[in-house]
Each structure stands twice: as C-alpha cells, then as structure tokens.
Chains A and B, each alone.
Chain A
Amino acid sequence: MDIFIQQIINGLVLGSIYALVALGYTMVYGIMGLINFAHGEVVMIGAMVALFVIKALPGLPAIVLVPLALVCAAIVCMTIGFAIERIAYRPLRRAPKLAPLITAIGVSIILQNLAMLIWGRNYHAFPPILPSGEHDVFGATITSLQIVIIVVAGLMMGGLTLLIRRTRLGRAMRATSENPPIAQLMGVNINQIISATFVIGSALAAVAGLMVSANYSIAHYYMGFMLGLKAFTAAVLGGIGNLAGAMLGGLLLGVIESLGAGYIGDLTGGFLGSHYQDIFAFFVLIGVLIFRPSGLIGERVAERA
C-alpha cells in the first residue's frame, strides 16, 4: 500500500511540474488561440539563468538568493517572451494558423542552440540550496521541495485565474480573446494586451524552470523539449485555454504516467516494460482528441470566436 501511495505522490509531483509549464501554454492559447511551442525553451532559459545567478553569488543565504535568481530569470524570460511575440508572431497575426506554428518551432530551435552556445553542452548541477528534507506520508516519502512545487503550482493557477477574472488587464485579455477587432474598437490596445500575455506567460516559465531544475537538480539546454511536449499534452488533456484544466490535466497526466510505469510490467506479465512511461502521455492525448477534443474541462475561460 505504501508503494501505491508513493506512486501517487510521485505522480502528483511530476504532474505539478507539468501543470506549471502547461499554465504558460494554456494562457497564450486562451488569449490568442496560438500554441507557443517555444514555451518549453523559455522554461529552459529560466532554469539556466536562475542556476547561473545562484552559482555566481555563492555567499548569500538561500532566502535572498532564490528570490533574486527568480527575479533575474523572470526578467530575462519576460524579455525573451516579449521578443518572441514581436518577432515571430506579430507579423503573422493575420496569416494562416500553421504559419505561427512553424515560426514557433523555429524560435524553439534557435533558443535551444543559443542556450547551447552560451551555457555549453554540459549538464549543470543545480546547487542544493532549496530545502530537500524528507517527510513521511503513510510510509511514503516526499521532500519539502516537492511540497513547495505542488503548492506553487496551485498558487500560480489561482493567481492567474484571479488576474484574468478580476483585474482590468484580465478583462482586456478576455475581450481580446473574444474578438480582437471589436476589443480594439472599445479602446483596448490589443498589441499591448498580447504582449502582456506573453510576458506573464514567460514569467511563469521562469518559475517553472527554477522549480524543475531544483527538483531534478539538473539543467541542460535540451531539457525544454520533452517537458514542453508533455506540458502541452497536459494542457490539451485538461482543455487548452482553461487554467484549471491545465492544472487538472498536469496532475492527471503525472499520476497516469507514474502508475503506468510502476505497474505496467506486472499487469502485462513483463510483456510491456516501464520504458513505455512516455507512451501513456501520448496515448492519453490521442484518446482525448478523439473522444473529447475540448479536453476534460470543456468550457474555456477565454474562448476565441
């Protein structure tokens, strides 16, 4: 039984990480109807910047260092997010949907190679400055950091929902999402709103990057690719464009993967092994697209007409 609980906890932690990244995808999709495939790379850059700030200032206490690293990473990511939108998406706003998708992938490759040139091909070990004490939950273990990740993912989802539902900016975002020309006629500067969406999404990516690399204590220029793909799957599973959906999708995907990898060998008598872990994510994606294309939580907060 404790093994089962441990697998659920593993899944929740993994799922929260997916959810953190998925929030960025879903937010941009919700407002613009565009899948920002460079988001995974922005997460990677957030992780790299945070890592190097922490390494550059070894003397400071964690309580100062972590927020500082986070702020630096967020500033860099926000700048990159702003630039991506400006360079790769804005000129294509009236182009067919496939065009920005291709530039997104182009941007993602550029960012990946840029990171490789700046930070090299080596794996970077994330310094153990975040709390990693182990706690016992019904015979299973969870580290403090993992609890922090779950909490942060929840808080970020809540904060974003408030932002979109309750603030002036949020209202402008919803208006932009519903009908950009009309929103513009009503005095909303849609260029500004879309830029703001990307900037906020990229700040989330910085947080996600820090959390992911602290949890696995690893940062590498290649880390954004698979993470981005899984997070995207999570966003679609929950209902892309819906913030709660991204959270739900992430957690569910994490648990499915974890239980799948843990039990598939026993269930199939060794015919299928645990290396099929990644397959579950994509099976789930195909299943959802066939049977419930709008995702588990079908209605989106911000729908594009």
Chain B
Amino acid sequence: MQDSRISTLTLAVFAALAVVGCSQKEEPKPQAAAPAAPAAAPAAPAAPAPAPEVVVKLGHVAPLTGPQAHLGKDNENAARMAVEELNAKGLEIGGAKVKLELVPEDDQADPKQGTIVAQKLVDAKVNGVVGHLNSGTTIPASKIYSDAGIPQISGSATNPKYTQQGFATTFRVMANDVQQGKVLGEYAARQLAGKNVAIIDDRTAYGQGLADEFEKGATAVGAKIATREFTTDKATDFAAILTKIKSKKVDVIFYGGMDAQGGPMTKQMKSLGIKAKFLTGDGGCTPEYIKLAGDASEGQYCSLPGVPLDQMPGGKAFNDAFSAKYGQIQLYAPYVYDAVMVMVDSMKRANSVEPAKYLPEIGKTDYQGVTAKIQFDEKGDLKGGAISLYQVKDGKWEYRETIGGAPAAPADAPKAEGEQKK
C-alpha cells in the first residue's frame, strides 16, 4: 500500500517533469516578444512622418536560457548593435525609409526548440534570419526557413552539413568544421607532438562533427586515436571519462564542445594528474574557459575560425563599441554583427527587402566586414576562411598562428593545409 503510493507519486513527478521541460520552453517567449512590442509601438505613431517607413523584421535566434545563455546573449547583443547602428544611420531601400526591427528568439540550444522558434519567425513574416548559434539547432531550423524562402545567415554554426543540404537560403560567415577539424588534427599531431590522442565530444551536431573532422585530420598525419569518449552539453563531472583516458596515457586530449564543459574538464584533468595537452575548438575559445579552468588552463590550446580580433579589419573599433555597450565580447559577436550587415547590404544591392528578391544578392556578396572580407561559395560557405590557433599564457588567450585564409581562396578543406602565415 505504502509502496505503491510512493511509486505512483514518483511516476507523477516524472510526468510533471516532462511538463517542466515544456513549460520552460514556452516561458521565454513572452519575454522575448516583449522587447519587440515597444519597438513596434513607436513605429506606428512615427508612420505619419513625410516618407513612408517600412518596418523590416530580422529574426535572431540563439540560446538565451540554459547552459549556453552567455554565448547566446552575446550574439543577440551583436545583432542588436548592428540593427541600432543601421537604424541610426538611416536606411533607404527601394525608395522607402526602412526601419529594422530585431525579433530575438530563444532556442535553448535545443534542436526541438530550434524548429519551434523557426516556425514562429516564419509565421511572424520576418524578412531574414540571423542565427542560430548552435549547429544542432541551425540545421533542423534551416529546412523551415528554406521552405518559406527566408534567407538565413549564421554567425557561428560551423557543422558542414548546414550548407550541404542543397538549400538556397543557407549562408554562414565563419569557416566550417571540415576546415577547422583538419587544421586542429594536424596541429595536434605535428606541433603538439601528439602520437596518442584522446577525443571527447559533447554529442551535439557541433561537437560531434568537429570531433569527427579532427579525428580524420589527426589520423591522416599519423596520430593514433587511443580512445573516443563522450559527454553532454549539460555535464559538469568528467572524472569518469578522464580517468579512463588517463589509463590510455595520451599526449593530447581534444574536446569538441563548448566552454562550459571544456573549462571544468581541464580543471578536472589537472586534479586527476593528467599531464596531456588540452586542445579545443571555437566553442571553448572564450575568456569564460580560462575563468572556469583556472590555473589548469595555462598552456592549453584552442582554435577559432577567422583571424584574431585585433587583426580583423574593423576589430578594434568593433571591440571598443561593443564593450562600451554590453561588456566583454564572449565569442561570436563580431561574426553575428557581420551577418546582419551582410544581410542588409544584400537588401540594399537588390533594392528590395523581399526575401525572394534579395536572396540572390546574398550569394554575390563582396563585403568588407569586421571579421573578414566576406564572399560566399556556391553552397553559402565563407570563401577562404582562416583558422587561428591560440594558447593560454598568463591567464589570457595568446595568438599563436593563422592557418589558411588566403583572400578569396576557395573554402574547400584541402586548401587549408600547407600555407601557414607567420
């Protein structure tokens, strides 16, 4: 009697937890919609002004809640900054005054939620979408945008599949993981003298994709993959997998995933007495990683598509403007800023804000952005994307070298090797 009551209750708990999942997902929507409403409100009374004003909605999607909320908010701030700058300057497209309006959405880095908000943006008749942040959400959402004919530019989704689906609407302003994984793999095997390498990934489209490309890159130049271990993008304890890796006596540990796991993982490596070098991709290449890993971060490596911020064409100016407004840049802010600029630039050239009319112009983009000179190949990938490597020194990411990225060179993987600048 007593027993069955407990189990019934517990089952009820789990049923209720399923509800939590949903309710949490629904919850940010009114919040996200709220800022849009006041923005729209003043637009209406402003309408009687001499020139008719057209409101152009740009959707932006990133995780604003959950473990990656800090990166998502960073992206959103960049998109907001771009929109505000463009509005302040005054935009005229197709003879009408245009006011951009950002429609920010939260996908919680969850693929299911990614498609829900994508549909929401389509229903809201946005003229274009910037995002999403994660490959795992960007890929399923891209089908929805493609079906609706809405152009999408991601500033951070690096999984190659995103642009390989044959959709005309998918673009990204960052080198993809085929390139990054290959560079990382070769760097691990050659520069870091990794003969015996362990790979960990977080099983997201991004982490897994990058880890797969890393494995190909590293084995191609003779490194041996001692073991592949896995975690999740919500985990905090890595002692079990690190202990297993310790038993394999590896020289290099590669992690495909984000800073929120990479940081604590590095710290736990140290307390388990693992001496191997730690190498991670763009998701871990943040100041947050160093904060979370503490002393253990010293001497560890990461890579980031593109060149370092201070070497970017408009890097310093962007950094100053952004930090004054929103604080330190987390990671993808300059790329997202460029994504908005590229989208609006294409609208200007097409002289239309209609998705169908300005979409062909995106492919012809030749835009000097903050991060690089932006041109797309036929798939919508960035041409000639460079990969830069960094190492932590005295508690800061220090630039090591940039591989690939000759101006306007095709973004295909084979070109990335060899030509090393600096």
Q: Which residues of B have CB within 8 Å of A218? A: 236, 260, 263-264, 292
Contact residues in A for B260 (Cβ distance below 8 Å)? 123, 218, 220
Whether the Cβ atoms of A236 and B237 lie closer than 8 Å is no
Among A37, A113, A260, point to the contact of B13 (Cβ < 8 A): A37
B27 touches A109 (CB 8 A): yes
Known: A6-B243, A105-B19. A216 touches B264 (CB 8 A): yes
Supply 15 A–B pairs (Cβ within 8 Å), ascending by A.
A120-B70, A121-B72, A122-B70, A122-B288, A125-B291, A216-B236, A217-B267, A217-B294, A222-B234, A223-B236, A236-B6, A258-B240, A263-B244, A273-B228, A294-B2
Q: B230–A273 contact, CB under 8 A?
A: yes
With known contacts A273-B230, A274-B230, A116–B69 Cβ distance under 8 A: yes
**Which one of B7, B227, B273 contacts A289 once the chains associate, using CB atoms below 8 Å?**
B7
List the B side residues contacting A101 at CB < 8 Å: 12-13, 16
Which of the 9-residue segments A7-15, A68-76, A84-92, A201-209 touches chain B? A7-15
- The answer to whether A128 touches B243, judged by C-beta atoms less than 8 angstroms apart, is no
With a cutoff of 8 Å between Cβ atoms, the chain B residues found around residue A262 in the complex are: 240-241, 243-244
Within 61-103 of B, Cβ neighbours of A (below 8 Å) are at 64-67, 69-70, 72-73
**A254-270 toward B: CB 8 Å interface, digit per residue (1/0)?**
00011111110100000
Known A6-B246, A37-B13, A116-B69: A275·B231 in contact at CB below 8 Å: yes
Q: Please name the residue on chain B nearest to A132 by beta carbon.
A: B271
Instruction: Chain A residues near B19: list those with CB within 8 A.
Output: 102, 105
Whether a CB of chain B sits under 8 angstroms from the CB of A161 is no
Q: Mark B116-145, 1 if CB is under 8 A from A, else 0.
A: 000000000000000000000000000000
Set of chain B residues within 8 Å of A49, measured between Cβ atoms: none
* Nearest CB in chain A: distance from B340 CB, A: 21
Instruction: Verify B7–A293 contact, CB threshold 8 A.
Output: yes
Find chain A residues with CB under 8 A from B271 CB.
132, 134, 141, 143
Whether A275 touches B243, Cβ cut-off 8 Å, given contacts A35-B13, A134-B271, A289-B11, is no
- Partner among A97, A109, A116 whose Cβ is within 8 Å of the Cβ of B20: A109
Complex interface residues of chain A between 108 and 150 (CB less than 8 A to chain B): 108-109, 113, 116, 120-123, 125, 128, 132, 134, 141, 143
Task: Looking at the assembled complex, report how far the CB atom of B145 sits from the nearest CB atom of chain A, in whole angstroms.
Answer: 26
A10, A102, A122, A218: which has the most chain B beta carbons within 10 Å? Answer: A122
Closest to A141 in B: B273
**Interface residue B191 (Cβ < 8 Å from any Cβ of A):** no
* Residues of B close to A178: CB separation below 8 A: none
Interface string of B210-224 (1 = CB under 8 A from A): 000000000000000
Q: Report if B203 contacts A (CB, 8 A).
A: yes
Q: Residues of B contacting A258 with CB < 8 Å?
A: 239-240
Q: Are B6 and A240 in contact (CB under 8 A)?
A: yes
Chain A interface residues (CB < 8 Å from chain B): 3, 6-7, 10-11, 13-14, 35, 37, 97-98, 101-102, 105, 108-109, 113, 116, 120-123, 125, 128, 132, 134, 141, 143, 216-218, 220, 222-223, 226, 229, 232, 236, 240, 257-263, 265, 273-275, 277-278, 285, 289-290, 293-294, 303
Check if B244 sits within 8 Å of A216, measured CB to CB.
no
Q: Which residues of chain A have C-beta atoms less than 8 A from B16's C-beta?
A: 37, 98, 101-102, 105
Determine which residue in A113, A141, A217, A257 has the highest number of CB atoms from chain B within 10 A of its CB, and name it.
Answer: A217
Residues of A within 8 A of B64 (CB): 121
B17, CB-defined interface residue at 8 Å: yes
Q: Given A3-B244, A109-B24, A289-B11: A217 and B292 within 8 A (CB)?
A: yes
Q: Are A123 and B263 in contact (CB under 8 A)?
A: yes
Interface of chain B residues 273 through 325 with chain A (CB within 8 A): 273, 288, 291-292, 294-295
Determine how close the nearest CB of chain A comes to the CB of B51; give it in whole angstroms.
39
Chain A binding surface, main DSSP class: helix
Pair A236/B234 contact, Cβ less than 8 Å: no
A108 to B21, CA, bound (A): 12
**Nearest 9 CB-CB pairings of A with B:** A275-B230, A121-B69, A261-B240, A10-B239, A293-B7, A125-B291, A293-B3, A3-B247, A273-B230
> Bound state CA distance, A195 and B273, in angstroms?
45
How close is A291's CB to chain B, nearest CB, in angstroms?
Answer: 10
Q: Which residues of B contact A11 (CB under 8 A)?
A: 240
8 Å CB contacts to A: which residues of B307-361? none
Shortest CB distance A209–B (Å) = 13
Q: In the bound complex, do residue B237 and residue A14 qualify as a contact, i.e. CB atoms below 8 Å apart?
A: yes
CB <8 Å contact, A105 and B23: yes
Q: Which residues of A contact B23 (CB under 8 A)?
A: 105, 109
- Chain A residues near B69 (CB, 8 Å)? 116, 121, 222
- Other than the given A125-B291, A236-B6, A274-B230, 7 more pairs (CB < 8 A) read A3-B246, A216-B236, A218-B260, A265-B229, A273-B229, A289-B7, A293-B3
Residue among A14, A125, A260 making CB contact with B239, cutoff 8 Å: A14
Contacts of B243 in A (CB 8 A): 3, 6-7, 10, 262
Which chain B residues border A232 with CB–CB below 8 Å?
13
**Contact code string B253-269 (vs A, CB < 8 Å = 1, else 0):** 00000011001100100
Expressed in whole angstroms, the Cα–Cα distance for A3 and B247 within the complex equals 7
Whole-angstrom CA separation of A7 from B240 in the bound complex: 6
**Is A294's CB under 8 angstroms from B263's CB?**
no
